[in-house]
Structure 1
Amino acid sequence: MLSKHEAAEAVRQAKVKTGVTWAQLAEAVGKPLAWTTAALLGQHPMGKDEAATAAALLELGDDAALAFQLQPSRGALDAAVPVDPTIYRLYEVVQVYGPTIKELIHEQCGDGIMSAINFRLDVRRVPDPAGDRVVITLDGKYLPYQW
């Protein structure tokens, strides 16, 4: 049987081989784009039917479908500071704006945090005359600290 990590690598290769997009996979399994992408990269467990659908579309076997159903060990970084340029820029955003985000959450909502469990993510490209922009929406449930 494949591990979730091995299955994720198989997905990346199969996407190139088949030409299937993340959006097509999400539509086929009936889940949001960001969730489907994260699941196929090993960060969420898929249901049996979702896993079978994704594996079939990617022309992967039963081992991949089984791996898609495994409970993950969440977290995808191999080092504390990421070296991939795209992931590093997000790390940089948190380094620069993290304290601001924290202050604004506390001022607007009170003493608490944004959930990463009850959470939605959206990534989209927006045309702009000065150069296209990337809009990332992090939408997490507010969880107040309870003392």
Structure 2
Amino acid sequence: MTSWNTTRDSATQAVRRSLQRTGMTWMAVAEHIDRPVIWTIAALLGSHPLPADTAAAVGILLELDEDTVLALQEQPYRLDGDTLKADPTIYRFYELLAVYGPALKEAIHEEFGDGIMSAINCNVQVDRREDPDGDRVRVTIDGKFLKYQW
């Protein structure tokens, strides 16, 4: 019996190989399935399950086999621990939250009251902003406020 991680990791690699082989972009896949690009990338990298019809559409577009299409539909385990911090881009998000996390929390509480920003019910977008000193990366997280209810 194959473990979930092995199956899901193989599906992710099959998607990556297909993108490379076909020259397809993440944006093109997202447009094909009518989903946001960041959600699409996260799902195809294993962070979200794809609904059966969406997985089938991706499978046709990227010429994936049936087992890969099924693996894309599996409920993920969202645990990768400290291995994520080894990637410099991902580490910068950890660093950003280490520096600004407490300030963001205070600002949210001051503006909204006692609660949290949802990471489940949110939209994430990445944009480029041209700047004379070098292009800027703009990450927008638009999360639903969830009030603590006692």
- CA deviations 1:99-120 (Å, max 9, x no partner) are 0100000100001100011111
Q: Which runs of 5+ in 1 are unaligned?
A: none
Kept after mapping to 1: 8 A contact 2:125/2:139: yes
CA distance in 1: counterparts of 2:102 and 2:22, whole angstroms: 43
TM-score (normalizing by structure 1)? 0.92
Q: Which runs of 5+ in 2 are unaligned?
A: none
Do the aligned partners of residues 119 and 3 (structure 1) sit closer, same or farther apart at CA in structure 2, a change above 3 Å counting? same
- Give 1:3 shift: 1.9
Matched, 1:146 2:136: no
Runs of 4+ in structure 1 over 4 Å off: none
Match of 2:20 among 16, 23, 39: 16
Aligned pairs (5 A) from 1:39-78:
39-75=43-79, 77-78=80-81
Partner of 1:34: 38
Match of 1:94 among 77, 97, 102: 97
- Give 1:14 shift: 1.6
CA distance in 2: counterparts of 1:113 and 1:48, whole angstroms: 31
Match of 1:83 among 74, 86, 91: 86
More helix as a share of residues: 2
**Which amino acid in the other structure matches residue 109 of structure 1?**
F
CA distance in 1: counterparts of 2:108 and 2:118, whole angstroms: 12
- Give 1:127 shift: 1.1
